[in-house]
Structures are given as structure tokens and as C-alpha cells.
Amino acid sequence: MKNKKTLKYITFFWLAMLIFSIMNIFVLSALNRAIESERNVLEDKVEMISLGYILTKKSDYLTAEARNFAVTANPKHLMNYWDEVLVRKNRDYVVNRLEQLSANKTEIALIEQSKRNSDALILSEMRSMKLVLDAYAVPEKLAPKPIQKYILPEYEKKLSANDKMLLAQHILFDQKYYDDKQLIMKPAEAFKERLKIRKNKELQDQKQLVDQYTRFLFISLSCLAVCIFGIIWLRILYLK
């Protein structure tokens, strides 16, 4: 009779061990998914902040090259500028990549606004470049195609070479240019701040989920260990 009761307990522990083993498989699977999600959120956060930084820096780079050209008339700066705008297209890549990474329409709208404002600033920079090229009587066919298409107002065409150079520099250093530049920076900074807040929350949520699954796995493994020790102990009693 005693042996039958012991066998009943052994069977119970075997069933419990089977249930906890199955539970462990599901919990481990869920934990792996949660860890992977946490890793993806962290990677996205790092990449998106980096992309926002690149967009700002490339705008600064274009400004620096345009100003250098207006001051020195060195064609190297002109070529660097248009190589970035027409060939490398880092700003376009950044915006497209951010749209892929972020499903948040508000964030995407901010970064697109920053790029649009940057595109508008290019018109001022093109005007300055056109004045410099006109001042040095550079043949139009030697200028980058966007500048070839840009038409100066008649009164600017009639300015002396020196006045054209002064105006070209004034355009890129006056208060309006600085204000327009801020129209690029403000949406970009707002984007980075919104992104930081959202991604930090997502990361915190994923960490909490990982912690919950980890605790549940610990409890389940502990119960499994109890079942194993229970079976061993009962087997010892049964064999006595």
C-alpha cells in the first residue's frame, strides 16, 4: 500500500516535471524574443540618433564649403559642395533611412522639415556661388548644372566684380542666413529629443519584459528542480 502511494507521488512529480519542462521551453523562447527586441530597440536608437547627427553635420558642411568658396573663390570648395549635394547625397540617405526606422509620423515630419529647410538654404548658397562665378567671369558651361540654371536678378548682374563678391559673402553671413540656418537646426534638435524620449521608453519596456520572463524562468526552473529532487527522494523511499 505504501509503495502504491509512493508510486502515485512519483507519477505526480513526473507529470509536474513534464509541465514545467514545457513551460520552460515557452518561457525561454519568449525570453529570447524579448532580448532580441531589446537589442533591436537599442540598435535603432543608436542608429537614429547618429543619423540625426549626420543630417545636422552635413548641413554645417555645406555651409562651410559655400562660405569658403564665397571668401576664397577656390573651386575646390565649390566641387566639394556639389559632390555632397549631387553625388554622395548623405542628407537624402539619412531621411530615407529614418523613414524606414521610424513609424512615428511626427518624428518623420520633423526630419523632413529640417531637410526641406536645408534645401531652401541651398538656394541662398547657389545665389552666392553664381555671384562669385560671375565676378570672375567663369563660363557658364563650366559651372555645376544647378548653378547654370540659376538666374540672377538683372540688378545683380550689373554689379561690379568687387560688389558681386561682397554681396556673395554678405548673403552667407547676414542675419537672415543665420535665421534660416536655425530653421534647419530646430526641427533636427526636436526630432532627436522626441526620438530619445520614445526610444528610452521602448527600451525600458523591453527591459521590464526581459526581467519578468527571467523571474518567471527562475521560478519555473526552481519548481522543476524540486520535482527532480522529489522523484529522487521518492525513488529512494520506494526502493527501501
Q: Distance between CA atoms of 56 and 117, rounded to whole angstroms?
A: 12
Render pLDDT for 35-55 as a digit per residue (tens, 0 to 9).
998 898 888 888 887 887 888
| C-alpha cell recorded at residue 103 | 513609424
| Three-state secondary-structure class, residue 115 | helix
- Distances from the Cα of 23 to the Cα of 16, 159, 214, 215, angstroms: 10, 83, 13, 13
Q: Find all residues with CB under 8 Å of 194, minimum gap 6, and list them.
A: 104, 106, 107, 110
Helical ranges in 150-174 per DSSP H: 154-157, 161-173
Kindly give the interhelix angle for 175-239 and 161-173, rounded to the nearest 10 degrees.
40
Chain-centroid distance of CA 195 in Å reads 8
Q: How confident is the model at residue 240 (pLDDT cuts 50, 70, 90)?
A: low
Render pLDDT for 7-41 as a digit per residue (tens, 0 to 9).
777 788 888 888 888 888 898 898 899 899 889 88
Q: How confident is the model at residue 154 (pLDDT cuts 50, 70, 90)?
A: very high
Q: How confident is the model at residue 238 (pLDDT cuts 50, 70, 90)?
A: low
- Distances from the Cα of 173 to the Cα of 57, 59, 129, 155, 179, angstroms: 18, 15, 14, 21, 10
Residue type, 72: T
List the one residue out of 169, 124, 144 whose CA is nearest residue 80: 144
Q: Judge residue 100's burial from the number of C-beta atoms within 10 Å of its C-beta, 0-12 exposed, 13-18 middle, 19 or more buried.
A: exposed
- Distances from the Cα of 129 to the Cα of 178, 223, 230, angstroms: 18, 76, 85
Sign of CA dihedral 119, 121, 123, 129: negative
Q: Which comes out higher in pLDDT, residue 238 or 94?
A: 94
Note the pLDDT of residue 204: 92
Q: Which comes out higher in pLDDT, residue 63 or 96?
A: 63
The widest CA-to-CA distance across the chain, in whole angstroms, is 117
Write down the mean pLDDT value for the chain.
87
In the predicted structure, residue 227 carries a pLDDT above the cut 90 = no
Q: What DSSP assignment string belongs to 176-200?
A: HHHHHHHHHHHHHHHHHHHHHHHHH
